[in-house]
Structures are given as C-alpha cells and as structure tokens.
C-alpha cells in the first residue's frame, strides 16, 4: 500500500496525468468472439504486430479471441467501462447500445459483392455511421470484412416453406429477426460462443453465418445441411474506447492509426480467401451436405425475405436504406 502511494506520488511529480501515460507500456486489450484463424482474428493479429512495431514497443496489444474475455453483449459494456480498449463487433451487434443504423448491412441481398460494400463503407455514409458511436463513448476506426452468410440446419433448406417453424439462432439485430419472421421461422438471439452447443443439443435448429465462422466453430459437424445462399453480409466495425483514444499522446495515436489502416487493408484482402478455404475444408470433411439453389429457388428466397425491408424502414429508417442503396449502385 505504501508502495502504491509512493508510486502515485512519483507519477504526479512527473506530471503524468492521463491514465494512458501512467502505464508503461500502454496496453490495448482487443477482445473478440471468433477464432484466430478467421478474417477478424487475423486482422487483430496484424494490428497487434504493426501497432507494436510502429510505436517501438510503447504500445502492447493483447488479443483475446474466442470470447475468452467477454461474450457478444458483455464486450460492448466492457468497452464502455474501459475494461477493454478495442473490439470489432459485427454490424449486427450495435442494437443493445441503442444504435440500430448499422443493421442496414443486415438487410437480405442488399450487397451483391464486396466491391459494392467498399463503396458504402469508404463513402460518406460509412463515415457518418461511425460518428454515431461518439455519443456512446466509442470511436469507430475501421470497417473489416468477413463475408456472406449461408443457412444451415439439420433439414434441407431449399424453398422458403422449409424454414417454417424452425428455430434459428440470430445475432442481436432486429433486421435479422424480421428476415426470419418473413420466412415464418422462429429467430432467437444468442451469443456467438453458445451457438455450437445450441445446435448440438437442439436448442435451435439452424443458424446463418459465413463459411469461415461455420468451419472454425465446427458448426458443420452438428448441421447436416448448409445451403449456399449468400443472402446477407457479415462485417465488423473496429471500435475503441473514446476517452482512451482521445487521451493518447498524438504521436502514438498517429502510429496506431497507421497500423489500423494497414491492418484493415490486410484483413480485407484475405477475407474472401479465408471463406473460400473454409468452404473447401467443410466440403472435404464430408460432414455437411452443401446445397446449391437454382436461379428459381434463389429468386423465391429473395422474394420471401423482402418484407424485412419494410420492417427495417421503421427501425433503421427508409432514408438510410435509400441512401445505402444509392451509394451501393
């Protein structure tokens, strides 16, 4: 105790007031819910490598993958409290913070490909969405890709009627809720870390995710069928505790921004391959049958999910949806 008092007097005497400066090196805890061997996991590792290099070791980044520190909802609370400094939640997870706008990315078939996505995230709308986080004590730094969602279940999902009455795990997004309701299915919000077990024990019948997430969580081992729908997009917003970020010495913040910019380019360049490789591994495992839809079946699913747009208009706003569609053209 006397040591602690002496130490804090020394800190005061040196005029080091900011919490970031009182600590040497500065620690950034980066918590996330997926495996290391995924687009986000690799992006986080790249950021760690570059951040530590550019700051000459003044910053140490501790990456905690696989929900080892916090689950979906808890990690956002922890960020606001300052228990962790950095996260990269998916666009579908900002609702509990009272921000529904990122859910526009969840709208079924709103993005034909990643090139189109880039137009939105790198355009004025992307920047404006990040600004919404300020009021929550959060600074948005970047958008990272994962990829497109596929549907899995123990039943063949071919026509819209096949979804009827099945329980699907969803992320905490009202748009995703509306999407499954449009299919007469029963959506259930659940943390990512609980999905494998919920599928295994039959708490839910199915789920939607990217090939990379399905493979690294071994979901294909407990789902007989995966339908290649590419119906939705999963991507991330890399966020940092605003107070922590603002109080960093300017030179360190610049070095970290540079590291983030490069880690973003790196992560986004390999996301497609991560998902392609995961699909190949799932096929090789023979554990899950991959179903491809005919153009007619694809069209029927698109049509069946369309009511999600009307529902979302009341939540994220028609104006925002229109703006998104315009920028995505």
Q: Are 155 and 166 in contact (CB under 8 A)?
A: yes
Q: Are 135 and 242 in contact (CB under 8 A)?
A: no
Nearer to ligand LMR, 40 or 48 (CB): 40
Q: Contact between 192 and ligand LMR (CB under 6 A)?
A: yes
Q: How far is the CB of 208 from ligand LMR (least distance, A)?
A: 8
Q: Which of residues 204-223 bind ligand LMR (CB under 6 A)?
A: 209, 213
Instruction: Give one DSSP letter per residue of 208-267, joined into a string.
Output: EE-HHHHHHTTGGGS-SEEEE---SEEEEEEEEEHHHHHTS-HHHHHHHHHHHHHHHHHH
Q: How far is the CB of 11 from ligand LMR (least distance, A)?
A: 37
**Interatomic CA distance for residues 38 and 281, integer angstroms:** 13
Q: How far is the CB of 39 from ligand LMR (least distance, A)?
A: 8
Q: Please list the residues that pair with 142 across neighbouring strands.
A: 238
Nearer to ligand LMR, 171 or 241 (CB): 171
The structure tokens listed for 95 are 């609702």
Q: How far is the CB of 170 from ligand LMR (least distance, A)?
A: 8
Q: Are 71 and 272 in contact (CB under 8 A)?
A: no
Nearer to ligand LMR, 73 or 253 (CB): 73
Of the listed pieces 32-40, 45-53, 56-64, 277-285, which binds ligand LMR according to CB under 6 A? 32-40
Q: How far is the CB of 183 from ligand LMR (least distance, A)?
A: 18
Provide the Cα torsion 171, 172, 177, 178; round to 10°: -120
Q: Which of residues 132-171 bind ligand LMR (CB under 6 A)?
A: 146, 171
**Strand-strand pairing, 167-170 and 138-148:** unpaired
Of the listed pieces 33-41, 63-71, 109-117, 309-317, which binds ligand LMR according to CB under 6 A? 33-41
Q: How far is the CB of 46 from ligand LMR (least distance, A)?
A: 16
Among 78, 142, 199, 234, binds ligand LMR (CB under 6 A): 234
Nearer to ligand LMR, 38 or 85 (CB): 38
Residue that is written with structure tokens 């969580």 in the block: 217
The structure tokens listed for 52 are 């530590």
Residues contributing to the site for ligand LMR (CB under 6 A)? 33-34, 40, 90, 146, 171, 192, 209, 213, 234
């Amino acid at each position: 105790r006397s040591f602690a008092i002496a130490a804090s007097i020394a800190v005061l005497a040196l005029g080091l007031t900011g919490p970031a400066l009182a600590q040497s090196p500065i620690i950034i805890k980066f918590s996330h819910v997926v495996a290391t061997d995924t687009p986000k996991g690799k992006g986080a590792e790249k950021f760690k490598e570059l951040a530590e290099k550019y700051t000459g070791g003044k910053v140490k980044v501790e990456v905690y993958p696989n929900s080892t520190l916090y689950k979906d909802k808890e990690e956002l609370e922890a960020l606001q409290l300052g228990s962790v400094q950095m996260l990269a939640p998916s666009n579908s997870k900002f609702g509990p913070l009272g921000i529904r706008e990122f859910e526009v990315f969840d709208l079924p078939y709103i993005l034909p490909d990643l090139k189109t996505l880039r137009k939105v995230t790198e355009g004025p709308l992307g920047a404006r969405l990040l600004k919404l986080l300020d009021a929550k004590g959060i600074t948005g730094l970047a958008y990272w890709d994962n990829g497109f969602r596929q549907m899995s279940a123990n039943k063949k999902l071919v026509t819209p009627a096949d979804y009827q009455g099945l329980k699907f795990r969803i992320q905490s997004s009202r748009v995703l809720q509306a999407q499954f309701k449009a299919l007469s299915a029963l959506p259930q919000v659940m943390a990512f870390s609980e999905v494998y077990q919920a599928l295994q024990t039959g708490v839910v019948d199915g789920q939607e995710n990217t090939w990379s997430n399905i493979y690294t969580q071994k979901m294909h081992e407990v789902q007989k069928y995966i339908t290649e729908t590419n119906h939705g997009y999963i991507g991330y917003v890399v966020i940092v505790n605003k107070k922590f970020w603002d109080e960093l010495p300017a030179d360190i913040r610049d070095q970290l921004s540079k590291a983030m910019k490069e880690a973003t380019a790196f992560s986004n360049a390999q996301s497609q391959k991560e998902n392609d490789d995961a699909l190949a591994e799932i096929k090789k495992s023979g554990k899950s049958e991959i179903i491809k839809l005919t153009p007619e079946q694809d069209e029927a699913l698109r049509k069946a999910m369309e009511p999600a747009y009307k529902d979302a208009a009341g939540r994220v706003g028609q104006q925002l949806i229109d703006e998104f569609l315009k920028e995505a053209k």
